[in-house]
Amino acid sequence: MMAMAASLLGLSSCSDKSSSDFGIGFQLYSVRRDLEKDFEGTLKKVRDLGYEGVEFYSEYYGKTPAQVRKICDDLGLKIFSNHVPFVQMMGDLDKVISDNKTLGVEYIAFPYMDNPSRPGVDPEKFKETVAAIGEVGAKVKKEGIQLLYHNHDFEFVSLPDGTIGHDYIFSSTPASDVQVELDVCWSDYSGFKADDLVRKYSGRIPVLHMKDYYLEGKLSSDPYALIGIEGEGNSSSGGGKFEFRPLGDGVMDIPAIIEAARENGVKWLCVEQDEPVAGAADAFEGPARSAEYLRKAGLLK
């Protein structure tokens, strides 16, 4: 409650700014179960919450990229980015590029690093994967699309030489080929303040993933491992508790992050709610509360 109050008090620092500071987007993974049931109706609900753009996750539930583009165009939603599994990029990059040109994206994001490639599991395999990401980024860039890397928490561990895995990704790839899609929740959970990272990678973070969280006690396991890619709800272990929260309802200093984003070249704030708010009636409650937070901050109409 204290974090929420502090966050709301901080809104005054950005309430006089116009809604043109950023594009305000929404990662559709947050409502994936609804999309599967009613694709167009779910996108309309997202639009009606006030979100200006959407980020897909390479799942269109039987529709072609051209059909998806038309639906979003008709709704007035900009498809600014798409999360594409790396196996798809490596398997048929030409098709990935063609599909995403049809969608009209500005960005393709590497969304998730499988366990064997993570810096804390196999540092050499991790470095090989980073090199491959750089090669894909260079090819995508030639086609007029920017590759982004989206983090979770496991990138923020040290390699044997002491380098943080997240730092290695961006020190080992040209900024022109691989840019940052910082997930502020996971960086903060890992002990790295998101506003500091926004400043550190100034000009290299076009898209910022915005979500809040609540942590009580100490977890004995990684929260994302407990929740899982297709998990249900939030998680607890070892006496600790972890919950994804709407913006302003958790432990993060959202106004400081927004101010850092404004000062360091961020183009899109992309709201994500990995799992529904605990006790919520549906998956839209969290996104609606985050939209209202940004509306009160003067960033959303």
* Mean pLDDT estimate for the chain: 90
* Tokens found for residue 204: 């290299």
Classify domain 22-213+252-296 by CATH architecture.
Alpha-Beta Barrel (3.20)
Q: Across residues 114-134, what is the average pLDDT?
A: 96
Query: How far is Cα 214 from Cα 279, in angstroms, rounded to an integer?
Result: 14
The larger pLDDT score, comparing residue 232 to residue 46, is at 46
Q: Across residues 195-219, what is the average pLDDT?
A: 94
Q: Which of 140, 220, 232 lies closest to 179 in space, CA to CA? A: 140
* Tokens found for residue 162: 């002491």
What HEC string does the chain produce? CHHHHHHHHHHHHCCCCCCCCCEEEEEHHHHHHHHHHCHHHHHHHHHHCCCCEEEECCCCCCCCHHHHHHHHHHHCCEEEEEECCHHHHHHCHHHHHHHHHHHCCCEEEECCCCHHHCCCCCHHHHHHHHHHHHHHHHHHHHCCCEEEEECCCCCCCECCCCCEHHHHHHHCCCCCCEEEEEEHHHHHHCCCCHHHHHHHCCCCCCEEEECEEEEECCCCCCHHHHHCCCCCCCEEECCEEEEEECCCCCCCCHHHHHHHHHHCCCCEEEECCCCCCCCCCCCCHHHHHHHHHHHHCCCCC
Residue 231 has pLDDT above 70, yes or no: no
Q: Which of 150, 169, 247, 251 lies closest to 207 in space, CA to CA? A: 150
pLDDT value of position 192:
97
The larger pLDDT score, comparing residue 143 to residue 242, is at 143
pLDDT value of position 225:
56
Query: How far is Cα 237 from Cα 183, in angstroms, rounded to an integer?
Result: 23
Query: How far is Cα 91 from Cα 103, in angstroms, rounded to an integer?
Result: 19
pLDDT tens for residues 233-281?
A: 455 555 578 899 999 999 999 999 999 999 999 999 999 999 999 889 9
pLDDT value of position 217:
76
Looking up tokens 């974090």 gives 3
pLDDT value of position 15:
40
Residue 10 has pLDDT above 70, yes or no: no
- Evaluate whether 173 touches 134 at the Cβ level (below 8 Å): yes
Residues of the chain with pLDDT > 70, as a percent, come to 86
Domain boundaries, the chain: 22-213+252-296
pLDDT value of position 250:
96
Q: Across residues 131-149, what is the average pLDDT?
A: 98
pLDDT tens for residues 155-173?
A: 999 999 999 999 999 999 9
The larger pLDDT score, comparing residue 186 to residue 8, is at 186
Question: Residue 14 — very low, low, confident or very high, per pLDDT cuts 50/70/90?
Answer: very low
The count of C-alpha atoms lying within 13 angstroms of the C-alpha of 48, restricted to the half-sphere facing its C-beta, is 7
pLDDT tens for residues 67-101?
A: 999 999 999 999 999 999 999 999 999 999 999 99
